[in-house]
Structure 1
Amino acid sequence: MTIASDTIDEAVIEQCEERLRLAMLAGDVEALDTLLADDLIFIDHQGRRASKADDLQVYRSGVLELVQIEILDRIIKPLDNAALVSLRARVAGAYYGEKFSEKLAYTRVWSRTSGAWTIIAAHCSRITM
């Protein structure tokens, strides 16, 4: 029995996504540093563009502290040396000391370079419906 490469890539991306979720919850800047590409482009839930350094600083400074990331659903679309992830999650924590709990939609692009998977682009939006 052979396993399609798409299946293998999807399982690997699921593992990467879980490592990302755990790193975000722990505020683990070192783990996030390895999961985010140096040239990351991230658009946050308020439409602001952030770099990898900007995103890491939010965790490093304690501005963002997450206590819950519950994945509601996820679609992974394997590509040649990349994968597109679309997911919805219930996220709770504190941002600048203000508690929040909301549903968010994320789109991420994982890219495989030299055998390592990193996020090269990400977008986050509030779910208002």
Structure 2
Amino acid sequence: MLATLVAGWAGASETGDPRQAIERYDAAWAARDKATLEELIAPDFVYFTSKGGEWSRARWLAFMLSPAYRLDAARRTEIVVHSTGDVAIASTRWIGNGSFEGRPFRDDQRCSMAIVREGGSWRILSEHCTQIVQ
């Protein structure tokens, strides 16, 4: 199903709604689609971890594509996008579980994403996720 989702977005125009970039990003992440991730993540991307770390684009891609990282399930909900011109800010909720280096994780996070339009395509410039503690 995830491969179908990624294939369905391949080549889709992103000139209208930055939500399409978020959906493609999540599908490519789940499918470990390196080419689509590299297309969607801006060259100067920065990821702010839930523990206060700051990761470069290269480090984030290496993490997401690592064989040590296993994503068993993930969904993004509560997507609210605010945009003006070529810049959009999205508030989302990301819920996922899997393992990293054999250690299981279960995340329920509030995420903010900065998305920019470059050359007619929306790209993820930054993401910051904070664990929701209940």
**What range is the shorter-chain TM-score in?**
0.7 to 0.9
1:60 is matched with 65
Q: Mind listing any 5+ residue stretches in structure 2 that lack a counterpart?
A: 1-13
How has the CA–CA distance of structure 1 residues 89 and 55 changed in structure 2, closer, same or farther, with 3 Å as cutoff? same
1:35 is matched with 40
Aligned residues: 121
Q: Mind listing any 5+ residue stretches in structure 1 that lack a counterpart?
A: 1-8
1:5 is matched with none
2:112 is matched with 107
Equivalent residue for 2:54, pick from 16, 25, 49: 49
Which one is further off, 13-22 or 61-70? 61-70
Q: CA RMSD in A?
A: 1.8
% same residue? 24
Normalized against structure 1, the TM-score is what? Answer: 0.85
Normalized against structure 2, the TM-score is what? Answer: 0.82
2:94 is matched with 89
Equivalent residue for 1:124, pick from 120, 129, 132: 129
2:26 is matched with 21
Q: Is the 8 A contact 1:40 1:119 kept in 2?
A: yes
Q: Is the 8 A contact 1:25 1:65 kept in 2?
A: no
TM-aligned CA deviation for residue 51 of structure 1: 0.7
